Chains A and B, each alone.
Chain A
Amino acid sequence: MSRIQAIAQTMTAPVAIKTKLSVDRLSMVFERDGTRTEVLNNISLEVGDGEFVCLLGPSGCGKTTLLNAMAGFLSPTSGEIRVDGEPVRHPDPRRIFVFQERGVFPWLTVEGNIGFGLSRLPRAEREQRIAHYVKMVGLQGFEKTYPQELSGGMKQRLEVARALAVNPDMLLLDEPFGALDSITRLVMRGELLRIWEAERKTIVFVTHDIDEAVQLADRVVVMSARPAAIQRIVDIDIPHPRDISDPRYLELRDGIFRQIGLAHKI
């Protein structure tokens, strides 16, 4: 391997990447029973093509609302979200939302779930794609199994496979590993990174777990409590696979801990 190649490989994000998603002065206000709740306050953010961005903030701060707006499930009170320059007005299979939990359809088997978005494809191609993604997320042998009989980690992998099968440009993941035990969560992060490196989708990943954000993301967007505003955007300039005892890793993590205002001593 030449030195240039080696250098190229250690670079996490290419320079001057194309903008995939842009959020422009987005605000979100919910009105219910006459009371106004300001959830998002003047958020501006750009996400590059193929980039992995984590939205990090305390629970209930509005990061899920932001993700829902990116998906097109909610329309903003003011401001705009654009994908590839086009304003987002409704959900679109080019950007698939992966839900916190129970997002898979319990009435369909593993195969049925992965093939859900592929009903327009010819049968042979559909089956080939299903087989490909079954293998990618390691669910071989469970094709005819219903989600009820799968573990939490398997269900979450199934949902990621269902999302990837329609070949979206972008994945929007809402605390996808939040309900899993800590060991499964670690394994799933590794799996997600492996898939991301293979498919190079743009990923926006919501989490309240600082370690998770620093392990996964190219950039971590640190958000404040409600109404959520962007406090800081942290570049994670460590190549994958990341060593979680690396001094740079700890430095970045501790920086975010301080930013959020937590002492990291228990």
Chain B
Amino acid sequence: MPGQTAALARLRLLLRPVAFIAVLLLLWSVAVRRAPGHLLPGPWGVVGGIVDLIRHGLLLKYVVASLFRVTWGFILAVVLAIPLGLAIGWYRRAELALNPILQILRPISPLAWIPIAILWFGVGDLAAVFLIFIGCFFPLMLTAINAVHSVPAVYINAGRNFGLSSAALVRRILYPAVVPHLIVGLRITLGIAWLVVVAAEMIAVSSGLGFLIVDARNAGNRYDLVVAGMLIIGLIGLLLDLGMQSLENVRSFRWGYSED
């Protein structure tokens, strides 16, 4: 039956990465057993670490804390950087004025802002949110500026031809034309936010997955918890990216991702 073969093919496609992960886990546990010492906890040790975290109610608490900071930093950056970037891209003169400053601020790692974040906001959530905001703001703004530039003049002219006012031009032409580019930028930036939160939590706060990793090391070299934390960060990062990626399948956005 064709339906069955398709299902089988999908299963086989799924099986390959699963098998690869299984092989890796096997190699990992063999390697750890062969070279005992302090190189790395084995896979079972990490599972034990995760169970430990769940039992103490820390896993959910830390995940929520990290996601909370990422959400606020990211949303603030989106709300400010995208309209600003679109406006700068739209008004050529604004861009000429602002571009040099942007180009200087952009290559500064968000981590370089840590001392200033602590100076301004103290040790706490606000500092972490600020660092994530900074990490997202510049890439998002540049995405928005470039997205405006990439809109073909044909669309703008067609809009003007149908008698659209400037406001309508922005709403009915510019906005739909840039959305596919913005989604790509949002996806990349959310990844950055998730990278930055871990670093921010190592320094500026005492909860979250980044804090878990430094705390586990400082408080008695619990490397099983360190690796457990890393694994969870990776998994959540993957889920966040898949969520953003699913936006690319919205029918009225899909044109932006085709080769044609």
Contacts and interface: CB of A to CB of B under 8 A. Distances in A.
Q: How large is the interface on B (under 10, 10 to 19, 20 to 34, 35 or more residues)?
A: 20 to 34
A78 interface: no
B91 interface: no
A106 B162 contact: no
A160 to B, nearest CB: 13
Given A103-B154, A108-B252, A148-B260, A91 B160 contact: yes
Nearest to A166: B162
Contacts of A108: 176, 252
B251 interface: yes
Nearest to B180: A107
Interface residues of A, number: 21
A9 to B, nearest CB: 34
12 contacts: A71-B157, A91-B161, A97-B158, A99-B154, A99-B158, A105-B155, A105-B173, A105-B177, A106-B255, A107-B252, A146-B254, A148-B260
A148 B177 CA distance: 14
Q: Which of A105, A148, A166 has the most CB of B within 10 A?
A: A105
B258 interface: yes
Query: 8 shortest A-B CB distances, which residue pairs?
Result: A106-B255, A107-B176, A117-B162, A93-B163, A91-B161, A91-B160, A148-B255, A107-B252
A73 B163 contact: no
A147 B255 contact: yes
Interface in A105-128: 105-108, 116-117
Contact of A107 (B161, B163, B177, B258): B177
Contacts of A103: 154, 158
- Looking at chain A's contact residues, the main secondary structure is loop
Nearest to A104: B158
A97 B158 CA distance: 7
Interface of B: 152, 154-155, 157-158, 160-163, 172-173, 176-177, 179, 251-256, 258, 260
Nearest to B161: A91
Contacts of B258: 148
Contact of A97 (B161, B172, B251): B161
Contacts, number: 56
Interface in A61-118: 71, 73, 90-93, 96-97, 99, 102-103, 105-108, 116-117
Contacts of A146: 251-252, 254-255
A256 to B, nearest CB: 30
A91 B157 contact: yes
A80 to B, nearest CB: 20
A107 B157 contact: no
B162 A105 contact: no
A105 B176 contact: yes
B154 A102 contact: yes
A107 B255 contact: yes
Contacts of B155: 105
Contacts of A99: 154, 157-158
Contacts of B158: 97, 99, 103, 105
Contacts of A147: 255
Contact of A96 (B161, B173, B179): B161
A71 B159 CA distance: 13
A116 B162 contact: yes
Contact of B254 (A71, A105, A148): A148
Nearest to A172: B161
